[in-house]
Amino acid sequence: MDYVQITQKQRDEMLRAVGASSMEDLLRQVPDELRLKRELKIPQGMDELALRRHLEDLAAQNSSADGQVCFLGAGAYDHFIPAVVDHLAMKAEFLTAYTPYQAEASQGSLQAFFEFQTMVCQLTGLDVSNASLYEGATAVAEAALMAANTTGKREIVVSRGVNPDYRRVLQTYLSGMPLSYEEVGLKHGVTDSQELEAALEEDTAAVIVQSPNFLGHVERVETLARFARANESLAVQVFNPISLGLLKRPGEMDVDIAAGEGQALGTPMGFGGPYLGLFATKERYVRKMPGRLVGQTVDAEGRRAFCLTLQTREQHIRREKATSNVCTNQGLMAMRASVYMAAMGAKGMRRVAQLCFNKASYLANQLKAAGVSLKYPKQPFFNELLVELKRPVEKVLPEAEAEGILAGYAVGKDYPELGNCLLVAVTEKRTKEEMDRLVSVLK
């Protein structure tokens, strides 16, 4: 069966153009054991109606968070998304926008990114933000590279409380560079400050901690940042943007770089993406910041205008001299975050954070009353609880799913010593009735 319909003459001409006498001659360099000896198992084509039905049947096999009660977290959260986010962000003017190289034709997009940067700075308490990165893991990796470029040092010290996926991406980034990676362990669910202090060396470029960390606990960021500062290293905090409605902002704790995942700001969980990398830093480091920065200026007639500023750090401009290979931004996701933050405002962001914390506290109390304990009950949390089960997690999760509940994330795959623990996330969407149902399953 021919899937690409060409004539024999056309085939012969193409073979001659590449210096082959036949198809067999063309494929000779492919080992025989790797050659497919049969036709591809591709079904016959469908008309549009049949294809649409087929795709709907495939989609119906998915089990979404909308059809179940979702207590999953671990970096992606089931938050409420106001209708205005979809209404504005899905406008064709924004859907077609990519990289606004021509400022004269991209004022709308540039202004949107400028407003995004402004709100991220207000959220983090830092001086400058870029126009976004790919997702949280990339933002953390770029923070490490920026710290190395800024300090001239070669070692990156990372808390084991940082999202395991972020740590894996960071290790991949560093694997081809003259940079070393050292991991600091946890003690009672938070970064072991004594181990971290001992790990600091003269060549340490950055200390990276996450707060709230992957296990849901609020870290002593100010203390850890003080250790970094005393060692002339940069302090990097991985943050949850919603938590900053209640917790101290990175800038208020003298953090040098804040990096995080912006999915919670108006983006659906969406099978893991596309997501949004948030990145902010102190003004003194702006020339080492990755990605692009949109600036405000005036045009020839003195009117307010916007342009791309300081993009010479990127590889498409500076090639091997660039400080970052990131030469784009998550425009559509940044637009969603901008609409979300503008619609919520400071009071709305604080209200969402307060609801998450209050509901998580209610669940913690109900679990305790039912005889289900937190692994580290003395550690402060925001909206995620590390629950210690008396039965194997792999048995509890299917039971909960049979009740229409996604009970949480099994952390044992990333932390073997916590094999009987479940990470349960609570957002403003969870109701008292849903949390009570979860307690009845877990107990």
Distances (CA, A) of 245 to 99, 125, 241, 279, 349: 31, 12, 8, 17, 5
Listed residue (204, 270, 276) closest to 240, CA to CA: 276
Most confident of 5-9, 269-273, 347-351: 347-351
Q: What's the CATH class of domain 83-339?
A: alpha beta
What single-letter DSSP state applies at residue 290? -
What single-letter DSSP state applies at residue 281? E
At 367-384, the pLDDT tens digits run 999 999 999 999 999 999
At 400-438, the pLDDT tens digits run 999 999 999 999 999 999 999 999 999 999 999 999 999
Task: Note the pLDDT of residue 176.
Answer: 85
Residue 374 and residue 368: Cα distance in Å, rounded? 8
Task: Note the pLDDT of residue 323.
Answer: 75
CB proximity list for 362: less than 8 A, separation 6 or greater = 432, 435
Residue 438 and residue 424: Cα distance in Å, rounded? 10
Q: Averaged over 339-367, what is the pLDDT?
A: 97
At 184-234, the pLDDT tens digits run 999 999 999 999 999 999 999 999 999 999 999 999 999 999 999 999 999
Kindly provide the b/e burial profile for residues 400-419, where b requires at least 16 CB atoms within 10 angstroms of the residue's own CB: beeeebbbbbbbbebbeebe
Task: Note the pLDDT of residue 2.
Answer: 43
Same fold, 65-80+346-442 and 83-339: no
What single-letter DSSP state applies at residue 287? G
CATH topology assigned to domain 65-80+346-442: Aspartate Aminotransferase, domain 1 (3.90.1150)
The two three-digit tokens of residue 102, written as one number: 């021509």
At 285-321, the pLDDT tens digits run 999 999 889 999 998 999 999 988 877 666 667 667 7
Q: Is the pLDDT of residue 93 over 80?
A: no
Total residues found in the chain within this entry: 443
Say which range, 85-89, 323-327, 351-355, has the weakest mean pLDDT.
Answer: 323-327
Residue 354 and residue 436: Cα distance in Å, rounded? 20
Q: Averaged over 243-251, what is the pLDDT?
A: 97
Spatial contact of 126 and 143, defined as CB atoms under 8 Å apart = no
The Cβ-side half-sphere exposure at 386, using a 13 Å CA radius, reads 26
Residue 175 and residue 121: Cα distance in Å, rounded? 31
CB proximity list for 333: less than 8 A, separation 6 or greater = 132, 262, 267, 274, 275, 276
Kindly provide the b/e burial profile for residues 123-160, where b requires at least 16 CB atoms within 10 angstroms of the residue's own CB: bbbbebbbbbbbbbbbbbbbbbbbbbbbbebebbbbbb
- The H or E element spanning position 111 is helix 107-124
Give the pLDDT band of residue 103 (cuts 50, 70, 90). confident
Question: What residue spans define the domains of the chain?
Answer: 8-42, 65-80+346-442, 83-339
Spatial contact of 113 and 119, defined as CB atoms under 8 Å apart = no
